[in-house]
DNA sequence: ATGAAAGCGCTAACAT
DNA sequence: ATGTTAGCGCTTTCAT
């Protein structure tokens, strides 16, 4: 075994302290602190000397010592209630973006749908004196607050808290569904069906009822009752069969996810019903590999997850600075048009 | 504006300190510390009283104070050199798994392929006195060390460092490619082609040359020269056309990625060449949405990214505990057989 | 313009 | 068995 005191390859043992910097520059630690933080009134020459010494020793201030005295850590925790996945990444990137710009670091915790782990991480984060916490998850359904009377602000991103006093940032899924329907109407489609995920899934029901409502608002009837199933390509293929076997003369399908839409696209074309000429298709999620892999490329609703992550982080920073927000903010999505709806309006 | 001193909804302002706990329990801070950490010799009754007081106040020890005095933070940094993405997630989960078990928290930093950001994060992490750093990235190609003479150990995961003294944990891509070829040979295929990503991409060349070598080792010739292209389904479809237009009687294709394989599968079936009966197909990555969405379901090579993340974290913990490892460790992958190669051996 | 000293919250060594 | 003290590295008064 190594590590028994011999020099470890290219590794120095200890970071320099500000006292060492001060000593090297021939000043007191207090003066060094001022010099490095641009505070106090120092001779430029002194400031320079200290900075050089710091440089030379590769000095980086010890954040623990700093936050111990400042009462702030410039650190936030991010807890994903389920697992880190496809949806968490853009959220994370967005949050990291907004926080990193504010010199704030992120502790990432993956609770994996386990309430025990969740509480364990919550305690850990509080022990680490994070300045705030972002709670995320894969489902948009409201969940009970992660804690009561926490000493730091919490913002929910993508998911929301059942407590209306909590601050949540969520996608406006109903708005997304409406945009999808309106787009299909705009290209002249009138016999629109909706195929989506499981009926017990919040996103599925929200999107479905908004879609149905948008169809009625246009004075139309849906071409078929909503088809609930799974969030998979296989279900999309199956649903295509169901739709084609009815007498309904469908001319467009809005799907609850890109995967479902892709499955549908495949099955429709195989049955000799070209997309979009015969049947136009809109997906949901705007997931790159799905919308690009689909033939034809898939028009889809983008929930702007990165924006949600960024907004959540900004609200958290505001709360940390004493200006907390409350309630649910629903961010609008965008429709990204592609070949699966590229036809001339009627 | 709120936050001006009025009570913020359900929020307490300050976490309790150990002195407050001690006062409530009627003991000194030192005794409280011993009671809560199971050290020293205390009357069970005293220990209990302190624990109750801590409970009552919702006490969680201030990690900054603790690490300031312990010289350890029980924190590691994870820098993704490119962006957080599909490959980073399993790595992250694996690492988080191993570290979380050791009560170690993870700072996540996304350097986005920007050396400036990378160095900024490195400094940040060092300032936060992390006990160690994991460096990851989307490409397996070796990269220059992230820093020289760092005061903490570093382990590279998925990517590797060009400095052989550094510790890297990478997938054994050549081994994976060999397994793919051997599997195809085992089901009786003899005319094997290889379609993969860009020639300038490290993974593409490593996998391609290992595949070619495995084919020669069996005393065979490849059915066609390696087809280099993109990591996309579109390229897979295109490559299918190329293969079918030659006189080569291909009976199996090993693809450098699942996306390429899926594109091939689609195009082959459309050209009346059923998979796997006519042409068997093996992908690479074992990416769930691709292997399951593909028809037939796709046999693929799994690089065990989670295992790589876990191993990297374990090696980092060992290094932190004074037992550093050096050099590159290549972890073997696994072949996951599915319908795209499900035929009876010849 | 600079230095000295105190204190953030905790733990470990020492004293009682 | 418990209390007291010092100090981790930094910043911030308050002196000088």
* pLDDT tens sequence for chain B (346 residues): 333 333 333 445 678 999 999 999 999 999 999 999 998 889 999 999 999 999 999 999 999 999 999 999 999 999 998 888 889 999 999 999 999 888 899 999 999 999 999 999 999 999 999 999 999 999 999 999 999 889 999 999 999 999 999 999 999 999 999 999 999 999 999 999 999 999 999 999 999 999 999 999 999 999 999 999 999 999 999 999 999 998 779 999 999 999 999 999 999 999 999 999 999 999 999 999 999 999 999 999 999 999 999 999 999 999 999 999 999 999 999 999 999 999 865 5
Superfamily of the domain at B173-303: Response regulator (3.40.50.2300)
Query: Is the backbone of residue B59 left (phi > 0), alpha (psi -120 to 50) or beta?
Result: beta
Check A150 against B12: CB less than 8 A apart. yes
- Which amino acid residue lies closest to nucleotide C2, measuring CA to C1'? A31
Helical axes A44-57 vs A18-25, angle rounded to 10°: 120
Nearest CA to B94 out of B286, B311, B270 is that of B311
Task: State which nucleotides on strand C lie below 7 Å from a protein beta carbon.
Answer: 1-5, 7-14
- Work out whether strand A192-196 and strand A132-136 pair parallel, antiparallel, or are unpaired: unpaired
In the 8-state DSSP scheme, what is residue B7? P
User: What is the distance between the alpha carbons of residues B41 and B148, in angstroms, rounded to a whole number?
Assistant: 45
Task: State which nucleotides on strand D lie below 7 Å from a protein beta carbon.
Answer: 1-5, 7-13
Nearest CA to A331 out of A189, A169, A191 is that of A169
Give the pTM: 0.92
Backbone angles phi, psi at B235, to 5 degrees: -65, -40
**Taking CA atoms, what residue in A is nearest to B262?**
A293
Run of H or E including A122 = helix A115-127
Mark which residues 192-221 of A lie under 8 Å from B by CB: none
Candidates B8, B11, B74, B309, partner chain A, best to mutate (most A CBs within 10 A): B11
CATH code for the part of the protein at B72-171+304-332: 3.40.50.2300
- Work out whether strand A167-171 and strand B280-284 pair parallel, antiparallel, or are unpaired: unpaired
Q: Where are the domains of chain B?
A: 3-61, 72-171+304-332, 173-303
User: What is the distance between the alpha carbons of residues B301 and B257, in angstroms, rounded to a whole number?
Assistant: 9
Neighbour count for residue A346 (Cβ, 10 Å): 10
Check B108 against A106: CB less than 8 A apart. yes
In DSSP terms, which residues pair with B168 in a beta bridge? B156, B328
The reply to whether A72-171+304-332 and A173-303 are identical in fold is yes
CB nearest to A2's CB, from B1, B232, B324: B324
Candidates A7, A18, A60, partner chain B, best to mutate (most B CBs within 10 A): A60
Token pair for residue B205? 């060349």
Alpha carbon of B157: minimum distance to chain A alpha carbons (Å): 18
Contacts of B322 in chain A (CB under 8 A): 3-4
**Is A70's Cβ below 8 Å from some Cβ in B?**
no
Q: Is the pLDDT of residue A14 over 80?
A: no
CB nearest to A293's CB, from B10, B14, B233: B233
Check B12 against A73: CB less than 8 A apart. no
- Which amino acid residue lies closest to nucleotide C13, measuring CA to C1'? B30
User: Residue ranges of the alpha helices (H) in A193-301?
Assistant: 202-217, 233-245, 258-270, 288-293
- Which amino acid residue lies closest to nucleotide C1, measuring CA to C1'? A42
Neighbour count for residue A64 (Cβ, 10 Å): 25
Backbone angles phi, psi at A345, to 5 degrees: -55, 150
User: What is the distance between the alpha carbons of residues A244 and A259, in angstroms, rounded to a whole number?
Assistant: 19
- Do B173 and B207 form a contact (C-beta atoms < 8 A)? yes
**Is A10's Cβ below 8 Å from some Cβ in B?**
yes
Q: CA at B52, C1' at D13: how many angstroms apart? A: 38
CATH fold for the domain made of A3-61: 434 Repressor (Amino-terminal Domain) (1.10.260)
- Work out whether strand B160-161 and strand A327-331 pair parallel, antiparallel, or are unpaired: unpaired
Q: Is the pLDDT of residue A186 over 90?
A: yes
User: What is the distance between the alpha carbons of residues B61 and B67, in angstroms, rounded to a whole number?
Assistant: 11
Sequence-ordered list of residues with C-beta below 8 angstroms from that of A124, at least 6 positions apart, any chain: A109, B103, B105
Nearest CA to B51 out of B69, B70, B36 is that of B36
Tell me: the pLDDT tens digits for A88-141?
999 999 999 999 888 899 999 999 999 999 999 999 999 999 999 999 999 999
CB nearest to A128's CB, from B105, B233, B289: B105
Alpha carbon of A219: minimum distance to chain B alpha carbons (Å): 37
In the 8-state DSSP scheme, what is residue B110? E
């Amino acid at each position: 075994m190594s590590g028994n005191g011999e020099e470890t390859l290219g590794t120095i043992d200890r970071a320099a302290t500000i006292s060492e910097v001060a000593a090297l520059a021939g000043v007191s630690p207090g003066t060094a602190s001022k010099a490095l933080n641009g505070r106090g009134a120092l001779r430029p020459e002194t400031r320079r000397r200290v900075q050089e010494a710091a440089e030379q020793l590769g000095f980086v201030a010890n954040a623990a010592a700093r936050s111990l005295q400042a009462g702030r850590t410039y650190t936030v925790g991010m807890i994903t209630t389920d697992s880190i996945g496809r949806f968490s990444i853009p959220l994370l990137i967005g949050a990291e973006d907004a926080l990193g710009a504010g010199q704030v670091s992120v502790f990432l915790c993956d609770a994996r749908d386990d309430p025990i782990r969740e509480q364990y991480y919550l305690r850990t984060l509080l022990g680490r004196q994070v300045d705030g916490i972002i709670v995320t998850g894969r489902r948009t359904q409201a969940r009970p607050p992660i804690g009561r009377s926490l000493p730091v602000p919490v913002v929910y991103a993508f998911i929301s808290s059942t407590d209306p006093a909590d601050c949540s940032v969520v996608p406006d899924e109903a708005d997304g569904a409406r945009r999808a329907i309106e787009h299909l109407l705009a290209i002249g489609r009138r016999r629109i069906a909706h195929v989506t995920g499981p009926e017990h899934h919040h996103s599925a029901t929200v999107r479905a009822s908004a879609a149905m409502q948008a169809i009625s608002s246009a004075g139309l009837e849906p071409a078929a009752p909503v088809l609930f199933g799974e969030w998979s390509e296989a279900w999309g293929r199956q649903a295509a069969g169901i739709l084609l076997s009815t007498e309904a003369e469908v001319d467009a399908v809005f799907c609850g996810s890109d995967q479902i839409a892709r499955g549908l696209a495949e099955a429709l074309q195989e049955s000799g019903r070209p997309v979009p000429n015969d049947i136009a298709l809109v997906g949901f999620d705007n997931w790159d590999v799905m919308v690009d892999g689909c033939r034809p490329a898939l028009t889809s609703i983008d929930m702007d997850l990165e924006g949600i992550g960024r907004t959540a982080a900004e609200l958290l920073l505001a709360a940390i600075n004493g200006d907390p927000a409350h309630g649910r903010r629903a961010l609008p999505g965008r429709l990204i048009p592609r070949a699966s709806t590229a036809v001339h309006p009627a």
